[in-house]
Chains A and B, each alone.
Chain A
Amino acid sequence: MYRYDEFDERLVRERVAQFASQVERRLSGALTEEEFRPLRLKNGLYLQLHAYMLRIAVPYGTLHARQLRQLAHIADVYDRGYGHFTTRQNLQFNWPKLKDVPAILGLLADVEMHCIQTSGNCIRNVTADHFSGVAHDEFEDPRPIAELLRQWSSLHPEFEWLGRKFKIAVTGATQDRAVLKSHDVGVRIVRDPATQQVGYQILIGGGLGRTPMVGKVLREFLPREKLLSYLEAVLRVYNLEGRRDNKYKARIKILVHEIGIDAIRAKVEEEFAAIDSPRNDVDPQEFARIAAFFAPPAYESLPDVSRKLEQAQAADAELARFVEHNLFRHKQRGYTALTISLKPIGQAPGDATSHQMRVIADLAEKYSFDEARVTHMQNIVLPHVRLDDVPEIFAVLRAEGLGTPNVGLVTDILACPGLDYCALATARSIPVAQALAEHFADPAKQKEIGDFSIKISGCINACGHHHIGNIGILGLEKKGAESYQITIGGDPGENYALGELLGPGLPAELVPEAIDRVVAVYLSQREPGESFIEAYRRLGLAPFKAAFKEIADAVA
């Protein structure tokens, strides 16, 4: 894990003091609300429906125990005893007071954390595959470049006032678990087939929101040392040429869409040619310094299978279910990456209490080399767990209400805060997620349905990724009431796809039954071993639409 040196630390401390001064000047009237708003956003502070909201960066989702404990402490002292883990691998507190924010930032700085650029029209928190460094299908750990990008993008003087937000994701695995194609820029570590050199494939112009767009390849192969100068060129072209007349058309995806990928490539390459020089290359020593922090921990050499775990599983059906769904194959023999589901049936997806944060911190410290990860699915991963230790860990999790064995299943629902918290929302999302989870709570039923993703957003901004859910649910307002539009066929991974509309919007009460009907079509028509999304691709929209129509007609 990366650790701050004296310079990282000083910068973050100075930034805290800077924010304190901005607050002071806002209160004295030296800064108008119009001036202060982007400054507080660049520090992760929103004004929500009920209160301020503070978004804390968890760079590429990596946390250590001390950080988790500090978050728990902040939740208790300055908030309401809980936090919300988001799809962008951040943590949000829903009730801080502006006057307390400088103190909170100070506490964060004590554990090498900050809120820099977690909102605002600038380069946002860099996200990465949550199994970075441990996934069996990984080609190279992307965290060193994620950290390099974090540093490069932090307080970059040229890119603090972009036309709109700018999100970067990185992966080094064959399976895309970082949703690269819905980011402004996606970086994938690849090997050049011709030279065998390691470098990057660069994707550009993905995004969700009101105009979802799929990221396109900007550069098939970028040499390692050129990463920062090339991105500098991308950002400069975007800053200069992106639309400024309409904030809904200001993302780079619109520029790419309007002028075409070839034109944007030509512009980027021209700018890159001007910037490119050995002086601007990534410094190999500095890169090596960063990369050293991500060296694998001191694993024991263990057998592939754990007899202890096998025996425990045989005696405990719930543990067996947990093992089946919540473990991910590790690079290292005898180890696993264990996912703690923050989707207990009936709870708000992604919420964790301060007590739960401390429990997870203890587990990370004791069993996972002090490390935990936040996933874009709003769960937490203990990335380096001995298979032998799984029964003990599960026992603790179960006792704390954190042992839900549902990762990747129908109740592992992703949901944005929606109207329960968000000022932009047109409808609630959390209660819909809760009702669905309760509806599908039966573990046998969940297992029968298998891999299935439901993603819910409370408005067209799509923070809940609804476009790329196998089932996507979008909460809207229709005739003065909440109404939910349902899509089918979205996929965030290798076969990236945006969902298609099943029919007219439904009131919340009918959503579970409608999805039941869709699931029934799958269960009755699937071929052996076929997942929901595979069956959908084979069967097409029609049979699902017909089943959905029965419910929709009942409302109409």
Chain B
Amino acid sequence: MAAVKRPPLPVILVANDLLEGDVVYAVAGGWTRDPRQALVAGDEAAAQALEAFGATELRQCKVVDPYLVDVQVGEGGLPVPRHYREVLRMHGPSVRRDLGKQADFDY
């Protein structure tokens, strides 16, 4: 799904893995489940490239519902979304710290 209006830079690309459902983030030429590895696009061209990658991967039945998320680059280059929904998505249920990415990657 191409975003009609692109969020402000910098951005990362998030989607769900079609077969597993897990939240995945785009890296160079592929995907990672670890948000700390997410490729951060700092300029317009890089954002467009991410978006195009999402569209291709959607067509090729790899992922579902790819879209760009605007982030701030925090400590150690860790991308932190500006919106609380995406922060929560990056962590997992706030009521179950033992589940989701916060548990998988121990942060």
Contacts and interface: CB of A to CB of B under 8 A. Distances in A.
Q: Do A and B bind each other?
A: yes
A47 B17 CA distance: 10
B15 to A, nearest CB: 10
B21 A80 contact: no
A389 to B, nearest CB: 34
B18 A421 contact: no
Contacts of A348: 95-96
B20 A50 contact: no
A50 B16 CA distance: 8
A98 B95 contact: no
A515 B15 CA distance: 39
Contacts of B94: 420, 428, 431
Q: Of residues A27, A28, A348, A421, which shows the largest number of chain B Cβ atoms within 10 Å of its Cβ?
A: A421
Nearest to B60: A29
A29 B89 CA distance: 28
Interface string B23-63: 10000000000000000000000000000000000101100
A457 to B, nearest CB: 16
B19 A33 contact: no
A213 to B, nearest CB: 29
The contact size tier of chain B is: 20 to 34
Contact of B95 (A96, A431, A481): A431
Contact of A97 (B21, B58, B60, B96): B21
B21 A51 contact: yes
Contact of B93 (A26, A47, A420): A420
B83 interface: yes
Contacts of A481: 84
A378 interface: no
Contact of B89 (A50, A96, A430, A434): A50
Interface string A318-353: 000000000000000000000000000000100000
A47 B88 CA distance: 16
Contacts of B22: 50-51
Contacts of A95: 21, 99
Nearest to B86: A49
A518 B42 CA distance: 50
B58 A33 contact: yes
A29 B93 contact: no
Nearest to B20: A97
Given A49-B88, A481-B84, A434 B95 contact: yes
Given A33-B64, A47-B65, A430-B95, A419 B19 contact: no
Interface string B71-87: 00000000000011100
B99 A47 contact: no
A99 interface: yes
Q: Which 5 A-B pairs have the closest CB atoms?
A: A52-B21, A420-B93, A51-B21, A97-B20, A430-B95
14 contacts: A26-B18, A27-B18, A27-B19, A47-B64, A47-B65, A49-B23, A50-B22, A50-B92, A50-B93, A97-B19, A97-B21, A98-B20, A348-B95, A420-B96
Given A49-B23, A50-B101, A420-B93, 11 more contacts: A26-B61, A47-B65, A49-B88, A51-B20, A96-B21, A98-B19, A420-B88, A420-B94, A430-B93, A431-B94, A434-B95
